[in-house]
Structure 1
Amino acid sequence: MVKLNSFSLTALLLMFFVANVYAQQKKPLHFTQAHTLTITGKAWDSQPFYHRLDTARYAGLSSTLKRLATHSAGLAISFKTNSTTISARWQTSPQRSSDNMTGIAYEGLDLYILRDGRWQYAGVARPSAHDTSETSIVENMVHGEKTCLLFLPTYDETLFLEIGIDADATIKANPNPFRKNILIYGSSIVQGASASRPGLAYPAKLSRQTGYHFINMGFSGNAKMETTVAEMIAPLPMDAFILDCVPNPSPEEILERTANMVKTIRRYHPEAPIIAIQSVAREKGNFDQQIAQRVKLKDQYFRQEIKKLQRDDPHLYLIEADGLLGTDQEGTTDGIHPNDLGFERMLQEIRPAILAIFAKYEI
């Protein structure tokens, strides 16, 4: 038999006491299925609930595009609660994070709460080593109703999500807090690489900063303006379109496909503004001359094609690439994808340009 001296016994009793007090202080939680609340960031009300697109409707899409469409990039759950605690329990697919993104951005969640008319960051839900995670996002909040947005994983499929609140609190759906519908079609940069958490991807930031409903149609490595994709996005009930898709296609594909992309959208939306954005700088091209020349050529061809189309299209606009990431070469994670600083610099340039265009149309 192990004998405990008085010091050890006292320490052991103290540990049990602290654990008991902590257990008593932890409030029991009530979990609500997120699919009973409001989802934002979708082009239309389709199933599956956490997919950006119902890919079964589009037989011509590649398997890669269909997989990327299952990622919940840009989607958020809108709700109100009077809880002092908000937790989450969710499951994602078995894939693991990439080497240029945080686990939180890849398959975690982040929460924003409206305070004094501004969406303010409240906390993150860090994914566990398993596909199913449960964690507290924020605790010890003041009593009273809070308007919340919970952003979903950027680079993984959300299979289910439950939101936990105090057992004696209430939760209810909140209407979409954003107005109109603006689709942003583009590459991994649009999808959210390499923001540190989901709500810092630039379409999500644009929504919170402007009040417009920006819909994330970023397809990592696969935004190549294919005819099947043009036919997919063109009929959607949008008030405006943003084409930020220069990074993925080759220079030759830009020459071949830009006009078709714009004209296909025009068939369905004769007067809606279409805003084309050149590629952000590839900072890998600071010293690699081949990369620098390739990006320059793609931006040149894209500008050339847009300028041609503008002769007959007064509702087509171009935002050029100069200065989008600043001039100190500190705006990317890996020389390709913007970090949080790079995204904020990008928004400083494109946000006022976008808002000025919208003002012309009273959007």
Structure 2
Amino acid sequence: MLAQKESSLTFTDARQLTLVGKALPADAFFHRIDTAVFPGIPPAVKHLLTHSAGLALSFETNSTQLVVKWCTNPRGPGDNLTAIVQEGMDLYIKRNGQWQYAGVARPTTHDCNEFAVVQNMAAGNKECLLYLPLYDETYSVQIGVERGAKLISKPNPFKRNILVYGSSIVQGASASRPGLAYPARLSRETGYNFINLGVSGSAKMEAEVAEMIATMPMDAFILDCVPNSSPEQVTERTAHLVRTIRAQHPLAPIIAIQSIIREGGNFDELRADQTTAQNGNFLREIRQLQSGDEGLYLITAEDLLGDDHEGTTDGTHPNDLGFDRMLQKIRPAVLEILRKHGI
């Protein structure tokens, strides 16, 4: 039955298509960064940059169905992640000028899979974005369409380049599927190219990472890296991170975001005190830097998750509701800053 099904499809290797979401070109197609170019960055950061978080394939097809075959690193899902967000994919199709969810590639094993993402679609051309796994290294992707149907590469649908550097929250934990990570949603909802440089548990503003970020040809930078940094690291490293970026990008807006108020601290007072200290130190550092930098901005933690403590999966990582609430504050603030700078 599977052979019969495949005989009616034509598969295209993803490497023939436009890959959206890379900060820099890299020989490893599905890696976000060629880490060999930056040998000094910490090993954990190097490993996480092999994850395909935020990467998406841009293409057009007139097929009425779409099947995906793909392989990832053979490891099981994390305890706060769905299998789809970790090693699966989701598809968006543009309809009436808006990106709309169309289906998922659901993994049934932890290495190589095949799944019918969507079937029984209307005839006609469809502009597509297929988001790759957020929390795994992707080895290969092939997209199958009906024999005789076209599948052609489309340009990057998003303008400019805005880097989002941060923790597991930026990388996408704990959205239910890849396209719901907040940088991906920002891109679809604004038309700007928000690039996901989330490095789960490892966004600690190291000097080597600051230097790597500063080399990237970006129009703006978002720094959402407080959650992984201790209060002491926040004090010691914030100024160096901002100044390193500013030295290479004198006119680019830099938008700093405090840590979300972790819901695990609703009753755990030590966790609450930790976040308060992180955010307090970050506020002080950013305010001092702002006195000499008119292009540096701060989005505070208030109202990022709401006040009903229903916005996370595990007390730390936003669920889809939490990410939606974050965007209600982040999106208008970021858009206003970009417009102010003529971006």
State the TM bucket, normalised to the shorter chain. Answer: over 0.9
The letter of the residue matching 1:125 is: A
Aligned residues: 343
Provide, for residues 82-123 of structure 1, a one-character-per-residue CA deviation record: whole Å limited to 9, x for no partner: 100011000001121101010000000000000000000000
Change (3 A) 1:162 1:311: same
Q: 2:208 aligns with which of 222, 225, 228?
A: 228
* Pair 1:309-2:289 in alignment: yes
Query: Helix, strand or coil: the match of 1:153?
Result: coil
User: How do residues 1-363 of structure 1 correspond to structure 2 at under 5 angstroms?
Assistant: 28-363=8-343
Structure 1 residue 129: Cα displacement:
1.8
Name the CA distance, whole Å, in 1 between partners of 2:116 and 2:317. Answer: 30
Provide, for residues 124-147 of structure 1, a one-character-per-residue CA deviation record: whole Å limited to 9, x for no partner: 001122400001000000111100
The letter of the residue matching 1:124 is: V
Structure 1 residue 235: Cα displacement:
1.5
Structure 1 residue 23: Cα displacement:
9.8
Query: Helix, strand or coil: the match of 1:127?
Result: coil
Name the CA distance, whole Å, in 1 between partners of 2:110 and 2:296. Answer: 46
Does the Cα contact within 8 Å between 2:86 and 2:135 map onto a contact in 1? yes
Query: Helix, strand or coil: the match of 1:159?
Result: strand
Name the CA distance, whole Å, in 2 between partners of 1:56 and 1:336. Answer: 32
Q: CA RMSD in A?
A: 1.4
Change (3 A) 1:23 1:94: closer
The letter of the residue matching 1:93 is: N
Once the two structures are aligned, what percentage of the paired residues are identical? 60
Structure 1 residue 168: Cα displacement:
1.3
The letter of the residue matching 1:131 is: D
The letter of the residue matching 2:174 is: S
The letter of the residue matching 2:73 is: S
- Structure 2 residue runs of 5 or longer lacking an equivalent are none
Give the aligned partner of residue 13 of structure 1.
none
Name the CA distance, whole Å, in 1 between partners of 2:305 and 2:5. Answer: 47
Does the Cα contact within 8 Å between 2:52 and 2:134 map onto a contact in 1? yes
Name the CA distance, whole Å, in 2 between partners of 1:115 and 1:46. Answer: 32
Provide, for residues 271-319 of structure 1, a one-character-per-residue CA deviation record: whole Å limited to 9, x for no partner: 1100000001110000000000110110000010000000000000000
Change (3 A) 1:270 1:25: closer
Name the CA distance, whole Å, in 1 between partners of 2:331 and 2:213. Answer: 22
Name the CA distance, whole Å, in 2 between partners of 1:201 and 1:130. Answer: 21
Provide, for residues 220-262 of structure 1, a one-character-per-residue CA deviation record: whole Å limited to 9, x for no partner: 0000000000000111100000000000010000000000000
Change (3 A) 1:261 1:26: closer
Query: Helix, strand or coil: the match of 1:217?
Result: strand
**Deviating runs (4+, > 4 A) in structure 1?**
22-27
Name the CA distance, whole Å, in 2 between partners of 1:362 and 1:154. Answer: 31
Give the aligned partner of residue 6 of structure 1.
none
Change (3 A) 1:24 1:258: closer
Change (3 A) 1:23 1:237: closer
The letter of the residue matching 2:68 is: A
The letter of the residue matching 1:231 is: E
Change (3 A) 1:253 1:108: same
The letter of the residue matching 1:203 is: P
Does the Cα contact within 8 Å between 2:25 and 2:33 map onto a contact in 1? no
Query: Helix, strand or coil: the match of 2:209?
Result: helix
Name the CA distance, whole Å, in 1 between partners of 2:295 and 2:4. Answer: 62
The letter of the residue matching 1:76 is: A
Structure 1 residue 44: Cα displacement:
2.2
Name the CA distance, whole Å, in 1 between partners of 2:253 and 2:42. Answer: 28
- Structure 1 residue runs of 5 or longer lacking an equivalent are 1-18
The letter of the residue matching 2:117 is: I
Query: Helix, strand or coil: the match of 1:101?
Result: coil
The letter of the residue matching 1:133 is: N
The letter of the residue matching 1:274 is: I
Does the Cα contact within 8 Å between 2:312 and 2:319 map onto a contact in 1? yes
The letter of the residue matching 2:161 is: N
The letter of the residue matching 1:242 is: I
The letter of the residue matching 1:80 is: E
